[in-house]
Amino acid sequence: MKKAQKHEVQVSGSQVRYMADKHLLTPIADRLVKSPVGVLHIKANSLGISHLGVAKEGVELLKEDGGERFESALQHLSQLEVELQEYFSGTRQEFNVSLAPKGTEFQAQVWQALTELGYGRTCSYGDIAEKIKRPKAVRAVGAANGANPIAIIVPCHRVIGKNGKLTGYAYGLNMKQQLLSLEGESSGS
């Protein structure tokens, strides 16, 4: 049996673990949370939050299985719920909940760079590519941004076009604009 590879990246005070062991990263608890941008679906495993996105219509919550790992996942969900309320009320600019998304090392670099982009700041894919010292990887940065499983906390909504205009967003340009307006966005890093 292969030993799990582990890559750790510090993200805005949150410990993010990228591990090859998919069993540990499988969500075991989830919750629906009402927000000003719609109902959010958050998922967690015992290591941290693994997903944050807009809930799909008719979404079914995971079956609760109890146990120590499940209790740990519930703690992450509860912490994030409080932090999201604070974010949407304008009293929180950084998240402290532990994160545990599935991703490659390259995606981890992109997501890390996104979290280092301050609250209310925007940048382009090219800016992120430069930041991670991969200036020719603009398209790959765009793909990693689009694969981000943890919206808002890993703030892919802060990426705009090189020309300063809004570009695509998994949950629609309306939500992207709402988040940027909430943060009082300004260009630059």
| Active-site residue list | 156
Sorted by sequence, the CB contacts under 8 Å of residue 77 that are 6+ apart come out as: 29, 30, 31, 42, 44, 49
The position carrying tokens 């939050």 is: 49
Angle between helices 138-146 and 105-115 (to 10 degrees): 80
Q: List Cβ neighbours of 80 (8 Å cut-off, separation of 6 or more).
A: 42, 44, 49, 52, 95, 97, 153
